[in-house]
Amino acid sequence: MEDELIHVIASELITAEENKQSIERFTKHRYPDLSVEQAYHIQEALIQIKRMEGDTVVAPKMGLTSKAKWDQMGVDKPIYGFIFDSMRVEGDIEFDKYIHPKIEPEIGIVLTSDMQGPGVTKEDVLQNIEYVFSAVEVIDSRYTDFDFHLGDVIADNASSKGYIFSKEQISLDKIDLANETVQVTINDEIVAEGIGSNVLDHPAESIAALVNMLGANGQKVKKGEPIMTGGMTSAVLIEPGDVIKVTYSTLPTIEVAVK
């Protein structure tokens, strides 16, 4: 795929985000053969444009980390994207900043030192965890009705749009990552429940997969980056007036309202 076309697609995704106007997935008619490799080139171009506009990358994140989502989408691997400084949610979630936002409860991990793949294992990651935190990701696919194939969602920076992190940092000896549970309520009604092992069997496995995928592209995961390991439940659609409470078994509770 030519550089010019890569840039055109990345720009269309950014325009959709800025105008809050969803678009048809590229694989539907225009580029049915969009490959994973091409899609990551588009994602890189999108990130480059955002940087040139003055935004700053905060960390990579993992996406499509549950087997349920793989079956739903007919894929067999996770993906990564990046979160930006401008995506931090401060105070309420402002609904009119999004197209059709959904939230995902996640386990966040910060590493003690840089890691670069290939060949990194879950055990390597477990030796290198500075602290754990709770996170709520707000995803907002730029594609109409969240209808996308693998290449589309990779190009779209893994639907990244917002995040809320707990301030409190939990040390690894205080938490069993695979057995950490979570419950999401909206206006006091339980809407989703999950467990750490839903995330590629273990959140540290998810970090290892991230390190190895980035390593294949010559990039590393850096110490100090707050990494979201992937949704512990399926994503939950939100709307104005919602009061969201995300309660973990060990990690700090996150509460946020949608205005």
* Token pair belonging to 1: 């795929």
Cα distances (angstroms) measured from residue 259 to each of 20, 87, 92, 142, 238: 16, 16, 6, 21, 10
Q: Which does 146 bind (CB under 5 to 8 A by kind): Mg ion, ligand 0L1, none?
A: ligand 0L1
Count CB neighbours of 85 within 10 A. Answer: 11
Can you tell me the distance from the alpha carbon of 161 to that of 34, in angstroms, rounded to the nearest whole number? 23
What residues between 216 and 235 interact with Mg ion by CB under 5 A? 231
Stretch near ligand 0L1 under the rule CB under 6 A, chosen from 19-27, 87-95, 139-147, 175-183: 139-147
Query: Which residue carries 């996770």 as its tokens?
Result: 78
137 near Mg ion, judged by CB under 5 A: yes
- 104 is a contact residue toward Mg ion (CB under 5 A): yes
Looking at 43, 128, 134, 159, which residue binds ligand 0L1 (CB under 6 A)? 159
Q: CA separation (Å) from 119 to 109, 113, 122, 208?
A: 19, 16, 10, 9
Judged by CB under 6 A, the stretch of 4-12, 120-128, 135-143, 194-202 that binds ligand 0L1 is 135-143
Task: Please give the Cα distance from 162 to 184 (Å, whole number).
Answer: 17
3-state SS assignment for residue 165: strand
Instruction: CB nearer to ligand 0L1: give 63 or 162.
Output: 63
Q: Is 153 in the site for ligand 0L1 (CB under 6 A)?
A: yes
Residue 35's nearest CA partner among 44, 27, 46 is 27
- Closest distance of CB 5 from Mg ion, Å: 28
Of residues 47-76, those binding ligand 0L1 (CB under 6 A): 63-64
**Cβ at position 109, least distance to ligand 0L1 in Å:** 15
C-alpha to C-alpha distance for 222 and 85, rounded to whole angstroms = 16
Residue from 192, 159, 200 nearest 43 by CA = 159
H/E stretch holding 5 reads helix 3-19
- First-last CA distance in the chain: 41
Nearer to Mg ion, 6 or 235 (CB): 235
Q: Which stretch binds Mg ion (CB under 5 A): 11-19, 102-110, 122-130, 209-217?
A: 102-110
By CB under 6 A, residue 141 contacts ligand 0L1: yes
156 touching Mg ion, by CB under 5 A: no
Longest dimension (CA), the chain: 50
137 belongs to the binding site for ligand 0L1 (CB under 6 A):
yes
Contact pattern from residue 185 through residue 224 relative to ligand 0L1, giving x for each residue in contact according to CB under 6 A and a dash for the rest = ----------------------------------------
Q: Which residues bind ligand 0L1 (CB under 6 A)?
A: 63-64, 104, 137, 139, 141, 146, 153, 158-159, 230-231, 235
> Which spans of this chain sit near Mg ion (rule: CB under 5 A)?
104, 137, 231
